[in-house]
Chains A and B, each alone.
Chain A
Amino acid sequence: MKLDPRIPSGPLEDKWTTRRNGVALVSPANKKKSTIIVVGTGLAGASAAASLGELGYTVKAFTYHDSARRAHSIAAQGGINAAKNYQNDGDSTYRLFYETLKGGDFRARESNVYRLAEVSNNIIDQCVAQGVPFARDYDGHLANRSFGGAQVSRTFYARGQTGQQLLLGAYSALSKNVGAGTVQLYHRKEMVDVVVVDGRARGIITRDLVTGELESHAGEAVLLATGGYSNVFYLSTNAKNCNVSANWRAYKRGAGFANPCYTQIHPTCIPVAGDYQSKLTLMSESLRNDGRVWVPARAGDNRSPDQIPVSERDYYLERIYPSYGNLAPRDISSRAAKRMCDEGRGVGPGGRGVYLDLADSIKRLGHNVIEERYGNLIEMYERITGEDPYQVPMRIYPAVHYTMGGLWVDYDLMSTLPGLFVLGEANFSDHGANRLGASALMQGLADGYFVIPTTIGDYLANSKLPKVAADRPEFTEARQSSAAFIQKLLAVKGHRSVDSFHKALGLILWEHCGMGRTKESLTTAITKVRALREEFWADVRVPGEAADLNQEIEKAARVADYFEMGEVMCRDALLREESCGGHFREEHQTEEGEADRDDVNFCHAAVWEYAGPDKEAIRNVEPLAFEVVHLAQRSYK
């Protein structure tokens, strides 16, 4: 597998300008002749489809939802970063770049991260112009707040619903183009395969989720904006339908899958309540601006929180990381919470929880200010747990939240399969081994609004792309193999539900490939996942028919892919003999229990290549070259 990142030459701060000056352009008259297929209508997909439609390309956008406003980008709460320096607190493009790269534990490409920081300001401008109601100060200017891993206030927000407002902004831009006829939008259609003709991605197969019909769509390029794979763990903060299938099918058609072991465990989620639990709910990291995290100082202290005097509490983040305190990055905060619980100092049922306490801020700022800042989050917590955070500290525990790994892309966002581009969380490019808060929204919109509209033209102008019709044998083959896959699932007619297998898979992975990983746990996980996968194909029950609205088929197909993906994730974690960011190998830690990176042997992206059914995937490597930044051990003390 050839991994050429195609990073432009020249100084870091000029690379994006150099690239933009150098790309081949498609003339306005010719854009219409190119059909671009966009899969997914979250932040990255909707913003890309809208921007490409405006440019004059023929755009076909696909969503498995009933509307393009439902993708999980909508659930992002806290905010979006940009290097505007409106607060005059010393922010700059370089600083945003450096903190994002450092936050990712120096496992991302310098050039991509710098570009992200560079276009971050344009995103805020674009969104405000669309009518996104960001929070404002009394003077009418935009407000900012702080987020984990940063020492400046650069996060823009819309109450606790920033993702919703940004997605609705992108959705409105997309809707405008649909109304104008420049984008054709397909609802309730799930991509089930990528079609490759003469070595290039030239189309997709979709399943109509109402009729079950498999359909072919041909084009000159395919964009995947299909999100991450957190749901491989079953319980995560992702929406129930989030899945890895689009990416996995693309992987099986030749796209390399990079760093699957980089998964982010978010420190502030509502703890698990019972085995019926269907998903976990995030409490925004922004709460850590005003909330203090603590556990009882003594193990086994079962008193209710109001009975524990301050002197017998351990505000452990403030104690261990005095300069960042409660705003230490996510991976570090999550592991600290786990350590406290492992020491027997956890709170709540089962002892898997720590307190996030707003009491001091309520005393200092008043009930109203806290309500204005976090009212909707506090209400959500109360609905789920039946407890009132204005009176009792919230209980939180880490949960899987985001995946930094994804399909490998070059600087132009093209995967190893020519003509297949990957945007947003679905790619691996910008967050290294750990993503900082408020950076996912930034990346999704950077890719969709500003990067892909520039880089895709270069591919289209420089490639010979004879028209292909959707009745070519490659399309027929892909359609038939998708139909056979569905029939195979229906034919098992076993005794166990898809969900029961998914839950079992999630437990294995959370236990053995979660916050802490060892050689032994990962080896065990691989054996267990394989055995469970065999059982799945022997005993799963998928009721109903293929030619119908059938949610069990949708789930079964996704879980089948998770089994394969989960195994590659464990192998990736096994072979990365170091700790970095969200990947914590217990064998590799410093004396203080922090991640011990190995820059000599592992300063690279690991890119997995599909080798065929029942063959072990092949690990390839893209070395990471750091020209500007000096690799340092992350310190937030």
Chain B
Amino acid sequence: MKLTLHIWRQKARNDKGGFVRYTLADVTEHMSFLEMLDVLNEELVVKGEEPVHFEHDCREGICGCCGAVVNGEPHGPQKGTTLCQLHMRHFKDNDEIWIEPFRSKAFPILKDLIVDRGAFDRVIQAGGFIAVRTGSAPDANGITVSKEASDLAMDAAECIGCGACVAACPNGSASLFVSAKLSQLGLLPQGQPERMKRAIAMIRKAEEEGFGYCSNYGECEAVCPKRISIHHIARANCDYHKASFTVWQGTGGKAAR
């Protein structure tokens, strides 16, 4: 098939950037979306032009590197699918495709389709873990977890940290990302001691990083390649509010606000 592509090109962080039009002939339906971009880049390189820069690595939908907004939708039109797993059989001859980076205040553009998602890491560093020293764990079957809780925790743990939820949200909120981690750890017995502290720390850090608030649009769930449910946001909010009354943070014994 023949395609017309409009791709966001931006030389560097402070460059203005804009759409550039390319036409591509001989795209086959079995190609992945990124392989289609490879074919374009091959043409550009041979001409001595700089190829379109995009982040990618595993190309099997698990590393979370790739992602772009395709015709207005993060990761493109197929539900529950990362961009690398989207195949060209979902497009047709003479289609026009608009490709741009994940846009958000908290994700500055580095080049073309590559953005800096370091804010996600900093949110995890603020509390997205169960603190356990190497070597100090009890026998694994000493902690039993109901299958229901374990499966639900696993649903949340599938998050790949790609940032599509943020790009889709009109508020630029990272609530789905943050709540997936809070939910995973909060559902497990191992995660209880730090549960309240964790909710406060992660949610406040996300705010500090410039992510917006959740107002229940539900766009995040709709674009999430791992189909993570916004139920986790409800669970996280619940913990956050509870924590606001119960966590003592150097307040001389009074509940922190």
Pair B49/A140 contact, Cβ less than 8 Å? no
Is A383 a contact of B85 with CB atoms below 8 Å? yes
Choose from B38, B45, B124, B188 the contact partner of A175 (Cβ within 8 Å). Answer: B124
Closest chain B residue, CB of each to CB of A211: B12
Asked if A68 contacts B121 (CB within 8 A), the reply is yes
> Are A240 and B134 in contact, CB atoms less than 8 angstroms apart?
no
> Are A129 and B147 CB-contacts (below 8 A) given A241-B57, A273-B30, A551-B51?
no
State whether the Cβ of B153 lies closer than 8 Å to any Cβ in chain A: yes
**Chain B residues in 8 Å Cβ range of A176:** 125, 129, 131
Partner of A133, one of B49, B138, B184: B184
Which of A66, A277, A544 has the most CB atoms of chain B within a 10 A radius of its CB?
A66
Q: Does A453 contact B (CB under 8 A)?
A: yes
- Tell me which residues from 133 to 177 in chain A have a Cβ below 8 Å from any Cβ of chain B: 133-142, 158-159, 161, 163-165, 168, 171-173, 175-176
Whole-angstrom distance between the alpha carbons of A84 and B51 in the complex?
A: 51
Q: Is the CB of A276 within 8 A of B35?
A: yes
For A65, what are the chain B residues with a Cβ–Cβ distance below 8 Å? Answer: 57, 65
Interface residues of A in 173-192 (CB under 8 A from B): 173, 175-176, 178-179, 187
Could you say which of A47, A164, A173, A210 contacts B62, with CB atoms under 8 Å apart?
Answer: A164
Q: Is A338's CB within 8 Å of the partner chain B? A: no
Which of B85, B118, B147 interacts with A380 by CB under 8 Å? Answer: B85
B61 & A158 in contact (Cβ 8 Å cutoff):
no
Q: How far is the CA of A277 from the CA of B28 in the complex (A)?
A: 11
B129 touches A173 (CB 8 A): yes
Contact of A274 among B28, B62, B65, B147 (CB under 8 A): B28
A129 touches B138 (CB 8 A): yes
Q: Interface size on B (CB < 8 Å)?
A: 81
A626 at the interface (CB under 8 A from B): no
Count of A interface residues, CB-CB < 8 Å: 85
Closest to B30 in A: A273
Q: Is the interface of B mostly helix, strand, loop or mixed?
A: loop
Q: Does A54 contact B (CB under 8 A)?
A: yes
- Which chain B residues border A200 with CB–CB below 8 Å? none
**Contact for B154 among A133, A138, A172, A541, CB less than 8 A:** A133
Shortest Cβ gap from A140 to chain B (Å): 4
A175 and B125 in contact, given A66-B55, A126-B132, A133-B154 (Cβ under 8 angstroms): yes
Q: Please give the distance in Å from B203's CB to the nearest CB on chain A.
A: 15
List residues of chain A with CB within 8 A of the CB of B89: 386
Q: B185 contacts which chain A residues (CB < 8 A)?
A: 131
- Choose among B44, B60, B131, B133 the residue that contacts A75 (Cβ–Cβ < 8 A): B60
Residue pair B81, A383 in contact (C-beta under 8 Å): yes
Say yes or no: B65 contacts A70, CB within 8 Å.
yes
B208 within 8 A of A: no
Identity of the chain A residue whose Cβ is nearest the Cβ of B65 in the assembled complex = A70
Please tell me which one of the listed residues A142, A276, A281 contacts residue B60 in the complex, with CB atoms under 8 A apart: A281
Give the chain A neighbours of B137 by CB distance below 8 A: 122, 125-126, 128-129
A550–B138 Cα gap in the complex (Å)? 47
Q: Give Cα A453–Cα B134 distance, bound, in whole angstroms.
A: 10
Complex contact A142–B87 (CB within 8 A) = no
Which residues of chain A are within 8 angstroms of B188 by Cβ–Cβ distance? 131, 133
- Beyond A74-B63, A136-B150, A497-B45, whether A187 also contacts B190 by CB under 8 A is no
Cβ-defined contact, A175 with B87, below 8 A: no
**Stretch from B93-101, B109-117, B211-219, B243-251 that touches the partner:** B109-117
**A492 → B minimal CB distance (Å):** 12
B122-178 contacts to A, CB under 8 A, are 124-141, 143-147, 150-151, 153-154, 157-158, 160-161
Q: How far is the CA of A137 from the CA of B146 in the complex (A)?
A: 8
Contact B184 A140 (CB under 8 A): no
List A contacts of B121 (CB < 8 A). Answer: 67-69, 175, 178, 187
Q: Which residues of A contact B41 (CB under 8 A)?
A: 497
Residue of B nearest to A540 (CB): B45
With a 10 A CB-CB cut-off, give which of B51, B129, B154 has the most chain A CB atoms: B129
The smallest beta-carbon distance between B251 and chain A, in angstroms, is: 22
How far apart are the CA atoms of A386 and B53 in the complex, in Å?
Answer: 28
Task: Specify the chain A residue showing the minimal Cβ separation from B157.
Answer: A133
State whether the Cβ of B48 lies closer than 8 Å to any Cβ in chain A.
yes
A175 vs chain B, min Cβ distance (A)? 5
The 9 closest A-B pairs by CB, nearest first: A140-B144, A129-B137, A172-B129, A179-B125, A125-B137, A133-B154, A128-B140, A51-B134, A239-B57
14 A/B residue pairs, CB under 8 Å, sorted by A:
A67-B64, A70-B57, A84-B141, A125-B138, A125-B139, A133-B151, A136-B145, A136-B147, A137-B147, A140-B147, A172-B124, A172-B128, A239-B58, A386-B87
